[in-house]
Amino acid sequence: MIDPYAARLVNRDFYAAKVDISTTVAVVLDGTLENRSLQLITPISRAFPKGTILELIGTDEAGAAPGTQVNAIAYLGFVEMQNGGILLAGDEVRWNGTVIGTLAGYDDTHMPNHQNTIVKMAKRISGKDLGIKLRDEIIIKGITLSTSF
């Protein structure tokens, strides 16, 4: 059986529409590393039920994408999903109405405890230094179909 992600048969164009994922900050993290060696898995999407805990980790590595390794990181925080849905590489991550980055991919190091979710940022900065607070809302933007006829 062929893996459609490994064979690069599936891309963002296959996702016509999907809901926003609303998350609530459960833990604010502080710290950066230069040598984390996160191995981003090949699939561009992950499905999660409501209540799932994600660890958000920022990087400013230009090549961060599914199937790559990420070393330079900043810890953002742990968030709890307020609704179930699909996370997709390339989705915008918004905190306080501001885009802080886009999803670069996922690292399975701590699964099934929690999913490392990598956020590509213009400049990596920790959750504490960003000013993220407990119970803040972070939205991972979905895709909306254009309905012009």
8 A C-beta contact, residue 68 and residue 55: no
Q: Which residue has the higher pLDDT, 72 or 111?
A: 72
Within 10 A of 27 (CB to CB), how many other CB atoms are there?
15
Residue with the two structure tokens 């898995």: 41
Distance of alpha carbon 71 from alpha carbon 37, whole angstroms: 5
Beta bridge partners of 101: 93
Average pLDDT over residues 36-42: 96
CA atoms within 13 A on the CB side of 23: 30
Whether residue 9 has pLDDT greater than 50 = yes
Q: pLDDT per residue over 79-93, tens digit each?
A: 999 999 999 999 999
pLDDT on residue 4: 74
Using alpha carbons, select from 33, 97, 40 the residue that is nearest to residue 71.
Answer: 33
Give the confidence band of 142 by pLDDT, cuts at 50, 70, 90. Answer: confident
The H or E element spanning position 127 is helix 127-130
Q: pLDDT per residue over 42-79, tens digit each?
A: 999 999 999 999 999 999 999 999 999 999 999 999 99
| Pairing of β 137-140 and β 92-95 | antiparallel
The H or E element spanning position 79 is strand 73-81
